[in-house]
Each structure stands twice: as structure tokens, then as C-alpha cells.
Structure 1
Amino acid sequence: MGRQLKGLTPPLIEFIERQKMFFVATAMEEGSINLSPKGLDSLRVLDSNRVIWLNLTGSGNETAIHLSHNDRITLMFCAFEGDPIILRLYGNAKVYGTENENWNKHIQLFPKIVGSRQLVDVDIEKVQISCGMGVPLMDYQSQREGLLDWAEKQGDEGLEKYWRKKNVTSIDGFETKKE
């Protein structure tokens, strides 16, 4: 049976900090629901009701597009080792591009990662903990380097061109709203 909390506890923050990946779900009022895995060293807990993550260049920009239309978001962490835990964070989020003052305020929390394009700042309204007894045990080997290698090869100019070509509309044809 799941439990709901109003915020993260110290043990839950430690759990999040140990995870190698997490999942993000967003949806607009219409169109497709987006569910994306996130990895690398891209998430920080700011306090018991706030997390922020560094959104990297990808094949689309669904999360940012969805959030520009509807700020609801869910993050999910699941234990692939250790105690069987599934942790969901429900809340609202804002997206900060590289020109936003909040980008400058928070980017130093993260290592320099080529292809960084946005920060997603999540205000947590509800935390849910449930058992993960159905989640398989898996051994972590390493982070994949392909995304980083690709972004490095593009360079700043190539990434800007890619964003203009691939990251301005959602898979359903909705445009990103400008900040």
C-alpha cells in the first residue's frame, strides 16, 4: 500500500541521490503523454519540496513544450537494487532556458555537460512512496556516453541549428512557447 507525504524526507533525498536514472511524465490538455528516462548527473534536490534537473539535448523537446502549455509534472524513481521502493514526485514545473536569470542562478549546481539546454524547476506538491517488489533487480554498469559524444561533435553552432530544426514543435505539432 502506498503512502503519501507533503514533501521529501532525508531518507528519500538520500534515495534520490543514489539513483542513476529517473523518469519524467508530462501532458498537455490534448495530444500525447510524454514519458522520458533521464540520466547522467542531471538532478539536484533543492529542499523537501523542490528539485531541479538539467535537461539535455534530445531527439525532441516534449517535456519543455508540454510544460510551456501545462505545468503539471510527475517524476518517478524506482530502486533497481536494494530495498524495493518506487518514489513519485507530483507537482508543477517551470523551464528556464540558457538566457533566463534562473539558469544563471542554478547552473553551477551541475557539472558542465555539453548539450545542456534547459533547467526544469519542480515545485513538489505531493510525494508518493510505494513498494517496488515487481521491479527487477539490475546491476548498474555505467552511463552511456553516446549523447555526450554526439553533442560534443555538434559544437555550439551545430546544437543551436539542431534545436531550431528538431526542438521547436512537439510530436503532436504544438510549438514551444517562448519565455
Structure 2
Amino acid sequence: MGQFYDSIPPKLIKWILEQHLFWVASAPLSGDAHVNVSPKGLDGTFHIVNENKVWYEDFTGSTGETIAHLKENGRITILFGAFDGPARIARLFGVGTYFEFGTPEYEELISAETRRPGSRGVVVVDVHKVGTSCGFGIPIYNYVGNRPTLLNMSLTFEKHDQDDLSSGDVQRSDKGLKAYWEGHNTTSIDGLPGMDVGHLSPKPLTHVSPPDGEKWPEPEQPPVEILTPAEPPVNTSRRSLEVMKGVSVDIEILKMLAVFLIGWALSGMYSGGAVAVTV
């Protein structure tokens, strides 16, 4: 049965922080605009301040829907689901605030020494309701690892910004991350305003370095088991029906033969002749 709380129950905190994936839902005020749901990953990006406040590091994406929606109305829901262990779903309902790269609030939570490539902001959520439900319909999956693609792609973008000082003291390149933010994250698909600070910030895009100094590695994936198509199941009930139909036909033939022989014998008796019938 589903349960609701006014804050995050202590029993959920450890489980939430162990999850590798969560979803963020937001929507504009207009009934004709688009509701957005975004999956979020990368271990260590979600943080619980207390039972009524959480925040997560937001990375560069193809659009800026969550940013625009939070700036317009602040409504947000964060969903977690168990893919292993006991089934469980948890939703955090709250009001969110978006702080972009280059703002003091962003720097209070993410320092230059801890920032990862592609980080464009933080979402701080004041949680006012928490809902849990069974999650019995959620499939079971095995976690393999984080995809490094986003980090490595952002690493390349940020290197362009770091290598280009053509705009004076502002590290910005036409091929860099700030130019990408300006081109893709400043408005939502419905035309709502999105990022308005990060792409204009003179602050350098400093980040932690990959483990080997070059790029983040791909996770080791287990061998894939190739499944061959199975034989179609035998419909035993249909086969039994076909056998029964065959038996019924044979019985009808025997009945007709018996009637013919009996009629032949009777006709011989009434005609005064002796008829020997051997069956």
C-alpha cells in the first residue's frame, strides 16, 4: 500500500543515496505546453541535506526543460525505483530552485576542485511531501556502471573554451561548452527562458581530471548471452482434439459397415436363402 510523509523517512535515506538512477518531472503552467521527464545518473551527484532538503548536480543536456520550468513555477517531483533487492518506489514532491554555473550558490555547493565536466547547475529542492509505493511491476536489472560518454564529450567542449581566450578574459570558444549552452539551453521547447548566467560567465570551466588524465573509461560489461529462438510451444489441447476427431471418423465408418452387413444378412433371411456372414 502507498504511504505519504511530510519529510523523507530515515529508513529511505540510505536507500535513496544507493540508487544509480532517478527521474525528474517538471511542467510549465500552460496547459498547452509540454510536461517533461528526465532521467538522471552519474554516481555521487544526488545529495540529501536533511529530511526536507535535497540537491543534485545538473549536467549539460540537449534542452533546458527542467531549468525553464523551475524558473517559471518551481514545481518538481523526483522519483526513485528499486531495480534490485526489495521492490520499492519513492517520490519526492517539492519546490525547486535552479542555480547556474557562475553563481555564488552554485559555487557554495560545487567547488572548482569537485566539479565534473559538463556540470551546468545545481537543483535545490525543498521537499514538502514524500510518497512510497510497492514497485512490484518494476523489472530487475543488474547495474554495470556509469556511461562515460557525457563526461568525455564535455571534456572536449571545455577544452575548446580553455584554449580560446579570444574574448579577452572570458574563456569561450564557438566550439566550446558555453556556446553549446547558449545554443541549446537558454530556452525550452515551449519558448520559456532557461539559462541566462552560465554561458555569459567569465569564470573558467575548471573540473576534476579523468582517472588516467585523458578520459573516463568504459565500464567492464559482462558477456552478452545470445538467446536462440525457442521452438514454438506444442498446443496439446489442439492435438488431442485432432486425435479425437480422427477416432470419431473411424467409429462412424465401422458403424456404417455394421449397418450394411446387418441389412444384407436380414435381406437374405427374408428371401429364404442362407447367408453366411463372417466378420
What RMSD, in angstroms, separates the aligned Cα atoms of the two structures? 1.5
Q: Is the Cα contact below 8 Å between 1:21 and 1:38 reproduced in 2?
A: yes
**Which protein is richer in strand relative to its size?**
1
Residue 93 (structure 1) shift: 0.5
Q: Deviations over 1:23-62 (max 9, x none)?
A: 0000011210010000002110010001000000011111
Higher mean alpha-carbon deviation, 48-57 vs 148-157, is at 148-157
Matched to 2:184, the amino acid is K
Aligned-partner Cα distance in 2 for 1:160–1:177: 11
Matched to 1:116, the amino acid is S
Describe the SS at the equivalent of 1:133: coil
Match in the other structure for 2:146: 143
In the alignment, which of 61, 64, 78 is matched to residue 61 of structure 1?
64
- TM-score (norm: length of structure 1): 0.95
Aligned-partner Cα distance in 2 for 1:177–1:142: 30
Match in the other structure for 2:77: 74
Residue 70 (structure 1) shift: 1.0
Matched to 1:169, the amino acid is T
Residue 177 (structure 1) shift: 6.9
Higher radius of gyration, 1 or 2: 2
Describe the SS at the equivalent of 2:84: coil
Task: Confirm or deny that 1:87 pairs with 2:90.
Answer: yes
Match in the other structure for 1:27: 27
Matched to 2:193, the amino acid is E
Over 3 Å counting, the alpha-carbon distance change for 1:176 and 1:54 in structure 2 is same
Matched to 2:94, the amino acid is G
Aligned-partner Cα distance in 2 for 1:9–1:2: 14
Residue 100 (structure 1) shift: 2.0
Aligned-partner Cα distance in 2 for 1:133–1:176: 37
Task: Confirm or deny that 1:104 pairs with 2:122.
Answer: no
Residue 178 (structure 1) shift: 4.4
Structure 1 runs of 4+ with >6 Å offset: none
Task: Confirm or deny that 1:162 pairs with 2:164.
Answer: no
Matched residue pairs, number?
178
Q: Deviations over 1:83-112 (max 9, x none)?
A: 11100000001011123221121114x943
Unaligned stretches of 5+ residues in structure 1: none
Aligned-partner Cα distance in 2 for 1:117–1:177: 9
Q: Is the Cα contact below 8 Å between 1:68 and 1:177 reproduced in 2?
A: no
- Percent pairwise identity: 38
Task: Confirm or deny that 1:37 pairs with 2:39.
Answer: yes
- TM-score (norm: length of structure 2): 0.62
Q: Is the Cα contact below 8 Å between 2:95 and 2:126 reproduced in 1?
A: yes
Match in the other structure for 2:53: 50
Unaligned stretches of 5+ residues in structure 2: 162-171, 198-279
Match in the other structure for 1:17: 17
Which gives a bigger RCO, structure 1 or 2 (Cα 8 Å, sep 6+)?
A: 1
